[in-house]
Structure 1
């Protein structure tokens, strides 16, 4: 793995900090500070946000130091969650319904909430090695998949009470499955996809029981993916690259995009598709993800996550925390 390339991205720099760190013998000691409960922080809304999701009308974000933020007024204000058992960096969050949600992050951590993000409990933690999980998706409150560093994929069929590691196939001409898996997302009924390194996408048509690789022809990493209301699929990543599929992920073609800033998240709202990106870039598509136009913040603040408020407002998040709604600085 080319760590220098990964660390050029603020999102992955945070997610990978320490992942290549101490020898196994001292891993438990290295993990100890992160296994303490997250603390209330006066600067919570300025801490890096790496993931955001909707829990009904509530918006929930996760990020560095185990900080979880909740907003019940369409992003106008935020408060910290009452209880988070870890202060490790959390990379992603997903809700199966307004109450049941999961967050994943460093040390292979998986946290669960049953009250819309107000309090969290640890379902999984591996202090033997810091192998971060980058993304999580639940089809319903029982069936979920989490993915991360070095082809780590975990699957649950009981709401996260138990997690089983999935043995992935080897890509063609490779001895093992060692690519980083950055984003798992729905691909239609019974289908799941994972955006990965080396232009590869993992695809399952049986709810994650078995997987195959799809080669897009691109050689860089994909960091984000989404299933659009039309049934089209999008993945995006390095240097503003976006690929689109109209056949449930069996084949992919590049989407037209003018930006060279790496894509970090997709959201769809009111017939438009939005993609947040580094360097303060927001990409917008009015033709179902076939082509995008770009706008850029003057301060080039790296945008790392997004959510859509119940009012329809696009909420953006960054390496410097919450971005004020409508902010164009």
Structure 2
């Protein structure tokens, strides 16, 4: 209860202070990892257990709250870029590498990274995996950039041991240039047992795709976030099947950020403003949401309608496994936990 009271009080200070300088607010506590990789994948399981993944074949794991980290990546993976990881506990995790052709792969471990099974290798030279999300320990989805004019979605129902490319008949046609951003492992989100959302950019409009049947059919909605080759929706997060946030901006102009909120499962979106380009977002306590990017972190207490920057450090992704536990990761091996 003391931790909950502290974080609530800190969040209230951030949102009610008249100036950013007057708001001590919460802070990120850095945990040295011994790595210089850019960590765009992050899956926190608890206050003690977290997995982070990224460039140069990096997959890190801690079981002591970030005091020590071990490189647990598969052997001979130094050329791979692990942009996403999904951990279920200290032993079981699924890692996604991205890139053209067979650089897009999926690995699974059941022993904390001592051994890995390569469970999916992309054989299509036109495909490019972007991000991954699970509904539960068995059911998950991977989304890849459009192939033949439609986003590619892969599905697993056995915890990532095997994957199937879903038929694209239920996927709307993509716009010219439209794609997902593999910036944080958060261009796809799930809530409950059936609902999933994909965020996009690069086309004439940024869009959110919503599925209510675990990825078999999708409906698209335009968002107010600007869209270009370097801008759009970079992360989408849902607190429950109705309430969601989308964050993004332009990675080539990191001081420019944008966001939107939905209260109807993603059928409509209302614009809001973050303090800069944000590539990751996660729900914390109640209506509190945290968003991170290369030039800082923002917090909202009202479900993403209003934001206030509380940190200027660089992070790419964020994961909050409990209402009062939040981790962030980014460039040069940076990993931190949120402190009140």
TM-score for both structures, normalised by structure 1: 0.74
Q: Which has the higher contact order (CA 8 A, sep 6+)?
A: 2
- Work out whether 1:204 is the aligned partner of 2:211: yes
- Work out whether 1:90 is the aligned partner of 2:92: no
Q: Distance in 2 between matches of 1:324 and 1:139?
A: 25
Q: Distance in 2 between matches of 1:253 and 1:246?
A: 9
Matched with 1:225 is: 236
2:81, 2:97 within 8 Å by CA — same for their partners in 1? yes
- Work out whether 1:164 is the aligned partner of 2:181: no
- Work out whether 1:68 is the aligned partner of 2:70: no
Structure 2 residue aligned with 1:314, among 326, 331, 340? 326
CA deviations 1:254-276 (Å, max 9, x no partner) are 12x341x2111112333421111
Deviation at 1:58, TM superposition (A): 1.0
Structure 1 residue aligned with 2:285, among 243, 264, 270? 270
- Work out whether 1:283 is the aligned partner of 2:298: yes
Q: Distance in 2 between matches of 1:188 and 1:289?
A: 20
Deviation at 1:312, TM superposition (A): 4.1
1:104, 1:135 within 8 Å by CA — same for their partners in 2? yes
Q: Distance in 2 between matches of 1:217 and 1:124?
A: 35
Q: Distance in 2 between matches of 1:184 and 1:253?
A: 19
1:92, 1:105 within 8 Å by CA — same for their partners in 2? yes
Structure 1 residue aligned with 2:133, among 129, 132, 137? 137
1:60, 1:117 within 8 Å by CA — same for their partners in 2? no
Q: Distance in 1 between matches of 2:292 and 2:77?
A: 27
2:297, 2:311 within 8 Å by CA — same for their partners in 1? yes
1:224, 1:236 within 8 Å by CA — same for their partners in 2? yes
1:49, 1:317 within 8 Å by CA — same for their partners in 2? yes
Deviation at 1:224, TM superposition (A): 0.7
Deviation at 1:247, TM superposition (A): 0.8
Matched with 1:102 is: 94
Structure 1 vs Structure 2 CA RMSD = 3.0
2:108, 2:161 within 8 Å by CA — same for their partners in 1? no
> Structure 1: which 5+ runs fail to align?
1-42
Q: Distance in 1 between matches of 2:323 and 2:263?
A: 29
SS of the equivalent of 2:35 reads helix
Deviation at 1:92, TM superposition (A): 0.8
1:146, 1:154 within 8 Å by CA — same for their partners in 2? yes
2:106, 2:121 within 8 Å by CA — same for their partners in 1? yes
Distance of aligned partners of 1:109 and 1:252 in 2 relative to their CA distance in 1, 3 Å threshold: same
Q: Which moved more, 1:140-149 or 1:225-234?
A: 225-234
CA deviations 1:116-157 (Å, max 9, x no partner) are 445422111236638442211121233211012333321223
Matched with 2:307 is: 292
CA deviations 1:61-98 (Å, max 9, x no partner) are 00011111111122232121164552200001123455
Q: Distance in 1 between matches of 2:94 and 2:73?
A: 16
Structure 2 residue aligned with 1:54, among 44, 48, 66? 44
Matched with 2:196 is: 192
